[in-house]
Structure 1
Amino acid sequence: MSQFIYVGTELELFAQAKNWKDYLRVLLRRYIKGNVLEVGAGIGSNTRLLCRSQYQKWICLEPDTQLFQGLESSIKANGIIDCFASNGTIDSLQEEQLFDTILYLDVLEHIKRDREEVIKASRHLKPDGNLIIVAPAHQWLFTPFDAAIGHYRRYNKQTLKAVLPDDIEIIKLNYLDCVGLLASLGNKLVLKQSQPTLKQIKVWDRFMVPISRKLDPIIGYSFGKSVLLVGRKKF
């Protein structure tokens, strides 16, 4: 069993962001296929939505023992078929375990040696398999909240591309949530909160995310508070 302890306290808060998670589901579902590995699955809030996609088997990898136990319970309680929780990290996998899809959803920023992590993940990705990364965008938006929940960094397109090994080709690289970026900037410059409140999360999710879903494609996904990368492993 892993001895990793997750320092963040925000997972339950952001589990309430139904519109945001549905936005991600719609964007990602076409790239999720076959045997899926979700790294850092947390309490399973992303799993519950994304498992509506087409897949054969879903492995939720979570290093924190307490979160892992909650994750197991969530999978059982929601009756998610062919979905299993595993307590560990990418290093816990057997060499022969290969996947068609590997997900890092707001996880890579928590990992100190991010490029090393992605190289290891690539070794467990089948040829033509998809690597999907969603991460907080723009280092200039880094706040005490990021530090409090264990973020080492935020990313832009260039820094996220830089962690990829040569055998991964980029098929999508976009910023998401343009309205949320403005809200995050306001928090950094004016409110200066170390953590958002549940009310703020609900306001962002209920009012800002739907607007971003409409505006993001219009502005060509050119700016936002999150960054999405989909890479495909070369043959």
Structure 2
Amino acid sequence: MDEQEIRKSASLEQRHWWYAERRALVRRLVRPLVPGRALDVGCGGGGNTRVLQDLGWDVTGLEHSPAAAGIAAGRGLQVVRGDARLLPFADESMDLVMSTDMWEHIEDDGAVARETARVLRRGGRALVAVPSGMDLWSGHDVALGHVRRYERPELVALVESVGLEVVDVASWNILLRPVARARRRHNTSESEMEHVHPVVNAGLRVAVAAERVLPIQRLPGISLVLRAVKP
């Protein structure tokens, strides 16, 4: 992702429906855990890092981009610049490692998975969110610097290959998938991350939030969310 896209994403992060609902998702999944030491790998502007901090975690964000790291640090978050393929942290030093929409940017995602497992303590948790389904591949992915979108079996196999036990893997942003698929048929080169009218923004948040009470998590979505534990 180039610096212009990074700064655009940071400016949208507080209001845009997608970021807001992703923060709500992280909060819902992490709240039951006992706070400890956490690492947010590929933290971007730090929106999800802040969620962990607010839940009582001693959290560090790791970010490769100097622009994104600067934005997160400017928001008062603890940030380290580094490479997700070679994390600058000791073995078994983290209780939680979270990566939201980062693995798809790295060609060698196996190295990222191995490093996630390495720095987790026994009993530590991994939370990984990635874009789902190569049938949704479009100019949006190209503009954001994606290398791939994931299929469920592929993601599970990758995580299990590094010795983590998958607790569950669910789809997210399911109800809006047909809309995204139709739109992306005509999208050749641009990111979809843009300002949305407040009324539309609120409606889209309602659509995503409705998934919490509907038994549809096994259906295809725009994203996959995986939770794993280190045995």
What is the distance in 1 between the residues matched to 2:191 and 2:39? 29
Mean alpha-carbon deviation: is it higher for 138-147 or for 179-188?
179-188
Structure 1, unaligned stretches of length 5 or more?
76-82
Structure 1 residue 113 corresponds to structure 2 residue 118: no
Q: Residues 58-83 of structure 1: CA distance to partner in whole angstroms, max 9, x if unpaired?
A: 111111122212211112xxxxxxx5
Aligned to 2:55: 53
Alignment of 1:1-235 (within 5 A): 8-9=5-6, 10-12=8-10, 14-15=12-13, 16-17=15-16, 18-31=20-33, 33-55=35-57, 57-75=58-76, 84-90=78-84, 91-96=86-91, 98-164=93-159, 165-190=161-186, 194-196=190-192, 198-200=194-196, 205-222=201-218, 223-234=220-231
What is the distance in 2 between the residues matched to 1:53 and 1:73? 20
What letter is aligned with 2:143?
Answer: A
**Cα distance change, pair 53–204 in 1 and its aligned pair in 2 (3 A):** farther
What is the distance in 1 between the residues matched to 2:50 and 2:198? 19
What is the distance in 2 between the residues matched to 1:141 and 1:182? 10
Question: Does structure 2 conserve the Cα–Cα contact (< 8 Å) formed by 1:133 and 1:229?
Answer: yes
Question: Does structure 2 conserve the Cα–Cα contact (< 8 Å) formed by 1:37 and 1:59?
Answer: yes
Kindly state the Cα deviation for residue 150 of structure 1 after the two structures are TM-superposed.
0.8
Mean alpha-carbon deviation: is it higher for 199-208 or for 187-196?
199-208
What letter is aligned with 1:11?
Answer: S
Question: Does structure 1 conserve the Cα–Cα contact (< 8 Å) formed by 2:139 and 2:187?
Answer: no
Kindly state the Cα deviation for residue 182 of structure 1 after the two structures are TM-superposed.
1.9
3-state SS of 1:198 partner: coil
Q: Residues 160-189 of structure 1: CA distance to partner in whole angstroms, max 9, x if unpaired?
A: 112113521111200011122122112112
What is the distance in 2 between the residues matched to 1:202 and 1:139? 30
Aligned to 1:79: none
Mean alpha-carbon deviation: is it higher for 140-149 or for 91-100?
91-100
3-state SS of 1:33 partner: coil
Task: Give the ranges of 4+ consecutive aligned residues of structure 1 lying more than 3 Å apart after TM superposition.
Answer: 4-10, 94-97, 190-193, 199-205
Question: Does structure 1 conserve the Cα–Cα contact (< 8 Å) formed by 2:132 and 2:223?
Answer: yes
What is the distance in 1 between the residues matched to 2:197 and 2:188? 15
Mean alpha-carbon deviation: is it higher for 207-216 or for 122-131?
207-216
What is the distance in 2 between the residues matched to 1:36 and 1:135? 19
Q: Please, what is the CA RMSD of the aligned residues?
A: 2.6
Identity of paired residues, percent? Answer: 19
What letter is aligned with 1:86?
Answer: V
Mean alpha-carbon deviation: is it higher for 83-92 or for 175-184?
83-92
Kindly state the Cα deviation for residue 205 of structure 1 after the two structures are TM-superposed.
4.4
The TM-score, its normalising length taken from structure 1, stands at 0.83
Question: Does structure 1 conserve the Cα–Cα contact (< 8 Å) formed by 2:173 and 2:223?
Answer: yes
Q: Residues 87-145 of structure 1: CA distance to partner in whole angstroms, max 9, x if unpaired?
A: 11232414346100001111110111111210122110000000110111111101111
What is the distance in 2 between the residues matched to 1:22 and 1:233? 25
**Cα distance change, pair 202–195 in 1 and its aligned pair in 2 (3 A):** farther
Mean alpha-carbon deviation: is it higher for 86-95 or for 38-47?
86-95
